[in-house]
Chain A
Amino acid sequence: MTKFAVGQAVSRLEDEPLLKGQGRYTDDVKLPNATYAYILRSPHAHARIRSLDVAAAKKAPGVLTVLTGKDVAADKLGDMPCFIPIDNIDGSKRADTPHPILAKDTVRYVGDPVALIVAETLNQARDAAELIEVDYEERPAAVHTLNSAKPGAPQAWDHVKNNICFDWQSGDKAAVEAAFKNAAHVTKVTLWNNRCVVNSLETRGAIADYDAKTDRSTLYTGSQGASLIHPQIADAVLKIGKDKLRVITPNVGGGFGMKIFLYCEQCLIVWASRKVKRPVRWIAERSEAFLSDTQGRDNHSVAELALDKDARFLALRVTTHANLGAYLSNFGPYIPTVGTRMLAGVYKTPAIYINVKGVLTNTVPMDAYRGAGRPEAIYLLERTVDTAARELGLSPDEIRRRNFIQPADIPYKTALGDLYDSGDFPGNMQRSMTKADWTSFAARRAESEKRGMLRGIGMAYYIEICGNGPGEGAIIKVDPKGTVTVFLGMQDNGQGHVTSNTQILSEKLGIDASAIRIVQGDTDFTPEGMTGGSRFSATGGTTLLMAADKVVEKGKEIAAESLEVAARDLEYKDGKFTVAGTDKAIDIFQVAAAAQSKKDLPQGEEAGLNAKVSYALPSATYPNGCHIVEVEIDPATGKVEVLRYTVCDDFGSVINPMLLAGQVHGGIAQGLGQALFEHTVYDEQSGQLLSGSLMDYALPRADQLPNIDFNFHNSPCTTNPLGIKGSGEAGAIGAPPAVMNAIADALYHAAGIKHIDMPATPQRVWQALSGSKAGKAA
């Protein structure tokens, strides 16, 4: 293998072992003498547990233990943490939702864990679960996001009035009200951002091992960063101390945000393993995933946009009800609040005011899903901008052109406080329109109409924020035998971290890719970090560069001793430290060997050519781009087909264009899935998840996706050394508004319909077209 440069479309180093079945996912971790856990879950959305009898289950064949909320209380285990404080408008704090790892006296959603059974086989554990007698006293369930916030609605929690966990605001209310008074036109849009079940291909899992000699547990679990869940399990919940737990994350088959957070099962399995003093395995079934993985979105919003007589935006006012589920997940309240910053979009809207009410319901807890608040914000904004254009008789591009933050305005601080450092929004839109043949759309529409089909075109200009969050760790160790090992805090979930980090380091240190090893997901070795918020390349890449700089710096000191010159006279290039202007050189691995002995080490330095860096970017970065979608609708059935998809993105600098295209394609697939297919339906009375399997919950499939014409128009980010902006979530943010704007264009042109909600299922489209009031979509 040769040196890999940043910017090359290097094939994924991960692929060969994964495609050959040599990957090691959680379920592949086979430990001798392992036992199997089954989790008995609540069949009710809301019920008091009158009694819970596990005597028969405990005596069932093969059963080692049965644990319930009583055991949780007896062992004084802590609750599941939520990290996000929220201040209400009136200055009070948000409500809390104490969340034990097994329900104590009340179950609050269908799927809430009630008992854990550990047995010699999974079938024995399941058999025993059927012997558990639970006497539930059913209570009315709060289900619907909006209706649950109304007075008199069923209460998910007795202490939370009208289920409103928080009532949060942001922006300048007075300025917005003043602007509305002077508006020439106000556009009002009311819409739903539909709830999504994440559905990672690999379901969640946890396998715990226990070593009695050292009283130490090892947890193997899919995650987006082992270090984030490590202290939560060890300190907050089980209270055994971090040194008694090692968390290992093997290969991960998709996370999309959902695998960032702590889950009851991870704590339960470690706890149970310490009790039975044997390994315990638990791998979620798909039906369990539907009932227990955090879900995403589920917001109801009203947006009002004030415009002047020239269609320039004066102010934006937004009221959102956000479903939080039954318990606050790790970052649950963060998503619908902080995510709203992107409501400023790429426009010079001088005043913005946002009010978000977080609503507790008897449904699965909500948290980040690919985009985490930004898709919700951009969908609302871009649907509103399109609607304003339609009302004012402007084209979608014209209204955007009149309101864009121009390149000359940058750096630009938005009304919500974000400082955009770079970007060419008009240029991106123009490039996307050119590639999409925007101006010749009318001819294509006419051709569709000849065949009796409705055709629409739509655009969405998204901007998002990446690189936020805590510090990322990177450790580099140079082995004299010729390898460089990198220990990362971040966790690959399929993105290609090994490939892109190898590229960054191969270029930076000038060494062969084959000499580089990337280690992730082991709290005994890897530093702190978390993959999420599209921050891997910008934050993690920068951290790695800084660690590499430290290696070179330390290497120079050591090389100087060996070569008996001053460190400042040394140059580092292509893996060698060379005395400037001579051919006297020593390579990095020889330096690493020298670093083992005290003789050549600078005073106070540890042995070995190693470096450790922990770093958080001082400012965020703002990827952005223009998605253009063309759809055709069959008016007889309401079926929507996406015919063309064009995107022009600004991702700053590119490490690997092939990995980047993969991120964009995947993001668009998920965004298109949300827009057209993914329909999470809870029964409003019972709180049962009606779309609880892949037989009823439709994910996008390959034959429903168009070819994606993916283009760059990059303006490197000025606030990180790699110039990177982050791409992981971009597709999922841009796709829903672009698809829905295209559908609205077709429906308005054909029938004057201004809006339908996602997902635009055939039935919804047909009902809108037929004006049928009878069957409001379920």
Chain B
Amino acid sequence: MYNFNYHRPTSIAEAAALFVKASEARYLAGGQSLIASLKMRLSQPSDLIDLSGIAELRAIKADSANLTIGALATHNAVASSKDVQRAIPALAQLAAGIGDRQIRNAGTLGGALANNDPAACYPAAALALGAVIHTDKRAIAAADFFIGLYETALAPGELITSVSFPIPKTANYQKFQQPASRFALVGVFIAQTAQGVRCAVTGAGPGVFRSSVIEQALTQRFDAAALDKVNVAAADLNSDIHATADYRAHLVKVLAQRAVAAA
């Protein structure tokens, strides 16, 4: 780790002010990716602004149309929230499957979205459910939020405050774990939303994406068998030491079928 100045503000305004003042600041949410990269000296912020003192960022609330989760809600808080379990059980199940117990007690929804790891679980849920990401400056549709590998629409210093998930008719998330990291080797989130059937895929490509072939087939008939003849192209998918693009393409289809069956 390199040295940095540490701050623990108690309000969003204070956090934003600290960010502007510092030469190269980073927000610290649950720290599950940032701390590791600091320890490996891959990141060298001048100032670390720890958000854990801002209580308002943790709230979880549901109404008839939306489930709104504070950016600093931990994966465990989401997984065990009665509101989440009632409104979007698939989201509670997704959160319960992230990492391990220690990670789930520290990692946060906002941190996961802002980091936009190409194998993270939450981006798939946000994209499939058509979530709205609220920041201290504006509201961003999930469709516009995820730009690319570890890249989002957030401007420097812009802070996610909460995320609103429209409550779907049905939804399910299926993850096939990368055996070491337990990130998604492939993860598929299927939802029947007011806008139609959505299928978001994580882990398989350079960033989360929607599979139009799967959405089209499921729009005609929301049934696992409807995907039997669908061909998921491997062309743009990742190949690495854990899986080839072919295997990932195959898993996208298998997991989509399982998600439909379980939804």
A: residues with CB less than 8 A from B are 123, 126, 287, 636-637, 639, 677, 679, 681, 690-691, 694-699, 761-763, 766-767, 770, 772, 774-775, 778
Contact = CB atoms under 8 A, between A and B. Distances in A.
B235 interface: no
Contacts of A639: 176
A697 B178 CA distance: 10
Contacts of B251: 637
B5 interface: no
A709 to B, nearest CB: 25
B244 A775 contact: yes
A677 B241 contact: no
9 contacts: A637-B176, A681-B241, A691-B180, A691-B241, A694-B180, A695-B181, A696-B241, A697-B180, A775-B244
Contact of B246 (A123, A698, A772, A778): A772
Given A636-B254, A772-B246, A778 B240 contact: yes
A180 to B, nearest CB: 39
Contact of B243 (A681, A763, A770): A763
B21 interface: no
B156 interface: no
Interface string B226-263: 00000000000001111111110011001000000000
Given A637-B176, A681-B241, A763 B247 contact: yes
Contacts of B239: 775
Contacts of B246: 772, 774-775
Interface string B104-125: 0000000000000000000000
Contacts of A762: 176, 179
A761 B179 contact: yes
Nearest to A679: B241
A699 B244 CA distance: 21
Q: Is the interface of B mostly helix, strand, loop or mixed?
A: loop
Nearest to B180: A698
Contact of B247 (A677, A695, A766): A766
B186 to A, nearest CB: 10
Ranked nearest first, the 9 interchain pairs of A and B with the lowest CB-CB distance are: A775-B244, A698-B179, A698-B180, A695-B181, A681-B241, A778-B241, A636-B254, A763-B247, A775-B246
Nearest to B247: A763
B3 interface: yes
B180 A695 contact: yes
B1 interface: yes
A695 B1 CA distance: 19
Interface in B1-33: 1-3
A767 B242 CA distance: 13
Contacts of A766: 247, 250
Given A637-B254, A761-B179, 12 more contacts: A636-B254, A639-B176, A679-B241, A681-B241, A694-B180, A695-B180, A766-B247, A770-B250, A775-B239, A775-B245, A775-B247, A778-B244
Contacts of A761: 179, 242
Nearest to B36: A695
B171 to A, nearest CB: 21
Nearest to A638: B247
Nearest to A639: B176
Nearest to B181: A695
Contacts of B155: none
Contacts of A679: 241
Contact of A123 (B1, B176, B179, B254): B1
Contacts of A681: 241
Contacts of A637: 176, 251, 254
Contacts of A772: 246
Given A696-B181, A766-B250, A123 B3 contact: yes
A763 B254 CA distance: 14
Contacts of B180: 677, 691, 694-699
Contacts of A287: 40
Contacts of B41: 126
Nearest to B176: A637
Contact of A696 (B1, B176, B242, B254): B242
Find the residue from B1, B3, B179, B250 having the highest chain A CB count within 10 A. B179
A749 B1 CA distance: 53
A698 B251 CA distance: 20
Contacts of A774: 244, 246
Contacts of A770: 250
Contacts of B244: 763, 774-775, 778
B159 to A, nearest CB: 27
Contacts of B243: 763
A396 to B, nearest CB: 28
A199 to B, nearest CB: 11
Nearest to B253: A636
B13 to A, nearest CB: 33
B214 to A, nearest CB: 16
A30 B238 CA distance: 47
Interface string B138-170: 000000000000000000000000000000000
Contacts of A636: 254
A202 B240 CA distance: 29
B254 A767 contact: no
Contacts of A767: 247
B203 to A, nearest CB: 13
A690 B254 contact: no
A694 B40 CA distance: 14
B176 A690 contact: no
A291 to B, nearest CB: 13
B250 to A, nearest CB: 7
B232 to A, nearest CB: 14
